[in-house]
Amino acid sequence: MKVELAYGDGTLGVELPDARTTVIRPVEQAGLVDEEAEFLIALDSPIGTEGLRKWVKNGERVCIIFTDITRATPNERIIPWLLNYLKAYGVGPERITLLNALGTHRANTEEELCKLLTPEVVREYRVLNHEPENPEALVQVGTTGDGTPALLNRHAMEADLRIVTGFIEPHFFAGFSGGPKGIMPGVAGLETVMSNHGRKNIGNANAAFGVTGGNPLWEEMRDIALLAGRSFLVNVTLNERRDITGVFAGDLTEAHRVGCEFVRNSAMQAVDGLFDIVITTNSGYPLDQNLYQAVKGMSAAARIVKKGGAIIIAAECRAGVPGGSAFEALLRKARDPEDILALIAQTTYAEQWQAQIQALIQRKARIFLHSSLGDEVIRGAHLLPARDIAAVVAQLLAEYGPAARIAALPQGPLTIAYLEQAQMEV
């Protein structure tokens, strides 16, 4: 059979043996017939609170938090709709700041911001990148569980109202994206994020796809986000074509909870056993633009791969590892995956969480990568090159024998595969 794997701006076709291959996809959700109309209805009939028009008061300052270029949120559609809605109720550009929720990612260029928000929005409104390492741009709102200052962006905190936009998808250690994550880590200080994403929390069994309650990472994110003050959530859900399938607006936690259940019903897919080989993706661009993000796709595969099995991930990585990042520096410093774990047990590194998760997966399975990266770069990240996925599959089948089974996750972490009758090994 030919399986089309999400890859970059399109798909990558791979021939796999029919009798041995199980293809696992999320349940297809149709896009809304009139996206803008449904979006505006959600603002006026939100979940767990009154309509957005009643949140807006004369003279108050509004901060709209939006996701950066590593996320698939259709900002270019929903942000203009939101701004037009606010303008209709007397909230003009002079009262609005648009804040890019970078988390610890790099700042986006003006060209990228124009692509994200449209040139008209960038020209008419105040648009800022979050600065996670600038003390002058941060305000302390409390502390994390280990006593680290909980720092949030000053512009977000000085606003009278925060409108948190984004989209909800399964997340490999926060349970689901969206909701409180727009504030924490979206507009949080680096040291706050490093505390929350620390080795102990990342290693917790509940820091996993689809889990929020009892997940120490997500619960702390929620608690810090609530300290920010009045925040109205506007999250959407998407299908693989980036059509909007649902709009979840209103109370920061309640609207998010309802959206998460909607995603869970489509993303959760039961399987009857573990697989020797799992082929996955990082859901295509923009999610597969670098290797740092691609750990999410590896994590999706790790849920259903046998101990000693193999994961093959197709992730374009057009933006590299990325080069010069703390993630790349940690990978280069370590001799092998076990050394990564030893290093972060001794010292805290920026962005160590992705490397930690990759190394933990590699205790269970080998990881092969098909990407635009050179073989030397791939091996330097402690991964195995897979220039020809079908050929690698054939080699692995010869190694594992005639009973070996293959699973394919064409949409990668948009599918949460799980064992139907047993607890998953995390």
- Which residues are marked as active site? 105, 171
Give the CB-side neighbour count of residue 346, counting CA atoms within 13 A.
Answer: 8
Q: What are phi and psi of 38, to 5 degrees?
A: -65, -35
Is residue 405 within 8 A of residue 276, CB to CB? The reply is yes
* Environment class of 12 (CB within 10 Å of its CB; exposed 0-12, middle 13-18, buried 19+): middle
Q: CB–CB of 321/331 below 8 Å?
A: yes
The residue assigned the tokens 């091996």 is 379
Q: How far is CA 235 from CA 14, 152, 253, in A?
A: 34, 20, 11
Angle between helices 352-362 and 337-346 (to 10 degrees): 140
Long-range contacts of the stretch 74-77 (C-beta < 8 A, 24+): 74/167, 74/236, 74/238, 74/242, 74/244, 75/116, 75/117, 75/165, 76/115, 76/116, 76/117, 76/118, 77/35, 77/36, 77/244
DSSP-derived secondary structure letter, 28:
P
d(Cα 61, Cα 159) in Å, to the nearest integer? Answer: 5
389 contacts: CB under 8 Å, gap ≥ 6: 5, 12, 14, 279, 312, 314, 370
| Both structure tokens of 349 | 């590194």
Q: How far apart (Å, rounded) are the C-alpha atoms in residues 236 and 165?
A: 8
The SS3 of residue 277 is strand
Residue type, 279: I
Burial 78-97 (b: 16+ CB within 10 A, else e): bbebbbebbeeeebeeebbb
Return the closest-CA partner of residue 63 out of 2, 124, 4, 126. 126
Residue 31 near residue 245, CB atoms below 8 Å: yes
The tokens describing 40, both together, are 């505006």
Q: What is the three-class DSSP state of 74?
A: coil
